Amino acid sequence: MTKPHLLAALLLLAATIGCKGQPPAQNDAALNHRIEVLIRSQYRLPSEVNVQLKERSASTFNGYQTLPIVLTYGKKSQELTFLLSNDGKTLARLDKYDLDNAAIFNIDVKNRPIRGNPNAPVTVITFDDLECPYCTRMHKQLFPDTMARYGDKVRFIYKDYPLAEIHPWAVHAAVDANCLAEQNPESFWKYVDFVHEHPEQFTDQEHKVEFSFSALDRVARQMGTLAKLDEPALNACLTKQDESKVRKSMAEGEALNLEGAPAVFVNGQLINGAVPMDQVWTVIDSALTAAGVQPPPKPAVPANAPADGSGK
């Protein structure tokens, strides 16, 4: 988000009278993190905006407490007043947000392949486009470095979000990946890895989609052979090219108001685009802390590393 857009968002938020709070007295890390994630999602606040929840106090609304929240961007700060129900399940400020049933906390991952510990305290859900170069960049950040850093503390799940208008073979690639997933989740991940690592193999000089489709199917069949899958069933799935599951996932992404791909949700908190790895790790560390899990120590910075972390 650019500075003008951020300032516009802050001005919009400032429409309600705020109130001064006292030093925090109640430390409910998990609930506070859930509230912060929801606020960031609803108002599209980038990671550069600091969100501080202050002490709750009695309100004039029966069943609710007053919860001041301070948003800080650089030297600019704005205190907003929210209402939090006594049971910790509802947050209100003109609009009411359901902390249990908000879409960002209920992304459909049923029967999706999981990479990592299925019972991990943090879930990273990526809406991915297999033809998108920015998705490839994010994929290479997540695997192997991020997965190796967090071990069994994080599980990774991919959702289909091909941008069909600009990526002509992305939907086909997603269908092929799902065909493999039906029989073997590990084959799904190997296929996703391969396509992201070798995108040049799926486009010829004339950019013919027939070439791309054939290449994608060939790699999927090779993955099936290596995994000893039911080849007739796999071939039937690849030939049928049923897009219904992919289209359903795309519709879910649109309902979440995604602006493009990649879009990564870390226990509900949205990361837009292929941001630097340290920003991804900061969000994961925050989610782990909220879950009562100690994040791994930050890696040492090489003595000759540039100050801006650009690697140049």
Alpha-carbon distance of 169 to 115, in angstroms, equals: 24
Which run of H or of E encompasses 85? strand 76-85
The whole-number pLDDT of residue 169 equals 98
Q: Are 22 and 54 in contact (CB under 8 A)?
A: yes
Angle between the N-to-C axes of helices 185-197 and 170-183, in degrees from 0 to 180, rounded to the nearest 10: 150
Q: Compute CA distances 184 → 34, 81, 227, whole Å.
A: 34, 49, 8
- Residue 301 is predicted with a pLDDT of 57
Radius of gyration of the chain (CA): 22
Task: Give the SS3 label for residue 180.
Answer: helix
Q: What is the pLDDT of residue 245?
A: 97
In eight-state DSSP terms, residue 305 is -
8 Å CB contact between 64 and 92: yes
CA distance 2 to 65: 34
User: Scanning the structure block, which residue is given the tokens 């084959």?
Assistant: 187
Q: Distance (Å, rounded) from C-alpha 169 to C-alpha 223?
A: 19
Residues contacting 215, CB < 8 A, separation 6+ = 201, 202
263: number of Cβ within 10 Å: 23
Strand partners, 98: 90
- For tokens 């999602």, name the residue: 41
pLDDT by residue for the chain (312 residues), tens only, comes to: 444 454 444 444 433 333 333 333 345 899 999 999 999 998 899 989 999 999 999 998 999 999 999 999 998 999 999 999 999 999 998 667 888 899 999 999 999 999 999 999 999 999 999 999 999 999 999 999 999 999 999 999 999 999 999 999 999 999 999 999 999 999 999 999 999 999 999 998 888 999 999 999 999 999 999 999 999 999 999 999 999 999 999 999 999 999 899 999 999 999 999 999 999 999 999 999 999 999 999 877 555 544 443 333
Q: How far apart are CA 178 and CA 175, in angstroms?
A: 5
pLDDT at position 195 is 98
- Please report, to the nearest 10 degrees, the dihedral formed by the alpha carbons of residues 12, 13, 19, 24 taken in order: -160
**Phi, psi for residue 95 in degrees, rounded to 5:** -90, 155
Encode pLDDT of 187-204 as tens digits: 999 999 999 999 999 998
Tell which CATH classification among 1.10.287, 3.40.190, 3.10.450, 1.10.3470 matches the domain 3-105: 3.10.450
Domain ranges of the chain: 3-105, 114-255
- Strands, DSSP E only, in the chain? 50-53, 57-58, 64-73, 76-85, 90-93, 95-98, 114-116, 122-128, 154-160, 263-266, 269-272
Q: Does domain 114-255 have CATH number 3.30.70.270?
A: no
